Amino acid sequence: MPSLEERLAEKIDQRKINNALRQLHGQSVGIDFCSNDYLGLAKSPEIHQEILKLSDPVKTLGSTGSRLISGDSSQYQSIEEYLSNFHKGEAALIFNSGYDANVGFFSTIPQRGDIILYDELCHASIRDGIRLSLAKGYSFSHNDLSQLRLKLEQFSGNIFVAIESIYSMDGDNAPIEKSVVLCEEFGAHLIVDEAHSTGIYGKHGEGVVVSLGLEAKIFARLHTFGKAMGAHGAVWIGSAILKEYLINYCRSFIYTTALAAYSIAHIQSAYTFLSDNPQRIESLHNQIQWFKKVVAENRIMGFIPSDSTIQSCIVSGNGNVKVVTSHLQENGFDVRPILHPTVAEGRERIRICLHAYNSDDEISQLVHTLKMGLAKIS
């Protein structure tokens, strides 16, 4: 019988054989076309200064315990009130990350006998939460409302439907308005993960749901702080009873050390900065339009249609996508290949993330270099 070490090594070798080994790279180099810092807030000196002003010097370094023991603070309470107002919900509850928030929510709120229907492209954290849940989960084809309807017809009782306003790997958007109508018809509870739209849609970055005026129709919305907000953590926006239930039953909320005061000050400073500087959001959307224009002019095929910061060019096969990515990296662009098994086989891709701070020239150069890289494998 192989030893444990041998078993682990065999699995790692399998990844090497499939050209899919995951490795840590240390400091990023090159022009940033891969980070989630869409608005450049993670690098903002103004936000840094503001954090130092807001941080409670006594509790800055460590929160000292879980929220239910010693980690809570008036800062926490006031930012949650701020976030519920900002995102136009009744109540807000902060989690240490979007991953914790999704795993906690989906493993806690749907109960035994309930049904969770989720888009097949939903994030791993949603799917991991569903795996832990006592409810039964079924996926439906990406953005396929007729398939969702068929599944809604099949089940009764409490049904939850999980979608993302912007999908993290494809960058396309969910049909939220139609999903709301469908869920209302069947009395299903709609949950929207706004990880990649927080800070980017709505006048001040309130998210897609608020920009559509649909906040009252959604059971719960997730906003994360680690992407456009340039910070860390996440918040569920929903009813006061949902918040109280999560505080009482959600294990990824209860059994973990709370964020430190510094992190709370960071979240507050990022939201205040964005409210005072909405032109950042406009610049980002201008850069997205510029990128799409240059791609169209260069007739590059393979991009998944998207109006978001995430622009994915399908390059089938782990080997092929690595060749094109290396060409871009050698020419000074920080882009990363997205390989199978992270995405389905044949749907490997170069995932380009656009930022407010990417210049027109950088974007044009990136697209030209991509075109040359693609020529290497054709």
Q: Determine the longest span between alpha carbons in the chain, in angstroms.
A: 63
Q: Minimum distance between the CB of residue 108 and ligand PLP, rounded to whole angstroms?
A: 16
- Between residues 96 and 369, which has the closer beta carbon with respect to ligand PLP? 96
198 is a site residue for ligand PLP (CB under 6 A): no
CB 143 within 8 A of CB 305: no
Whether a cis peptide bond, with omega within 30° of 0, leads into 45 is no
Answer for which of 55, 102, 143, 306 binds ligand PLP (CB under 6 A) is 102
Collapsing DSSP to helix, strand or coil, 79 comes out as helix
Using rule CB under 6 A, residue 129 touches ligand PLP: no
**Shortest distance, position 223 Cβ to ligand PLP, whole Å:** 10
Q: Six-digit token pair at 25?
A: 């790279």
- Measured from the Cβ of residue 64, the count of other Cβ atoms closer than 10 Å reads 13
Long-range contacts of 134-138 (CB under 8 A, 24+ apart): 134/110, 135/110, 135/111, 135/160
- Pick the binder of ligand PLP from 80, 119, 170, 193 (CB under 6 A): 193
Is 123 among the residues that bind ligand PLP (CB under 6 A)?
Answer: yes
Measured from the CB atom, the residue of 260 and 374 that comes closer to ligand PLP is: 260
- Based on CB atoms, which residue is closest to ligand PLP, 116 or 234? 234
Are 237 and 83 in contact, with CB atoms under 8 Å apart? yes
Q: Binding residues for ligand PLP, how many (CB under 6 A)?
A: 14
Q: How many CB atoms lie within 10 A of CB 297?
A: 10
User: What is the number of other CB atoms lying within 10 angstroms of the CB of residue 11?
Assistant: 9
Q: Which residues, in sequence order, are bridge partners of residue 2?
A: none
Q: Applying CB under 6 A, which of residues 40, 71, 89, 98 lies at the interface with ligand PLP?
A: 98
Q: Which stretch binds ligand PLP (CB under 6 A): 26-34, 40-48, 193-201, 343-351?
A: 193-201
Rounded CA gap, 39 and 283, in Å?
Answer: 9
Sole binder of ligand PLP in the list 182, 195, 208, 335 (CB under 6 A): 195
Cβ closest to ligand PLP, residue 123 vs residue 280: 123
Q: Compare residues 86 and 95 and give the one whose CB is closer to ligand PLP.
A: 95
The answer to whether the bond into 341 is cis (omega within 30° of 0) is yes
In the set 55, 63, 84, 168, which binds ligand PLP (CB under 6 A)?
168
The residue ranges that bind ligand PLP (CB under 6 A) are 97-99, 102, 123, 125, 164, 168, 193, 195-196, 224, 226, 234
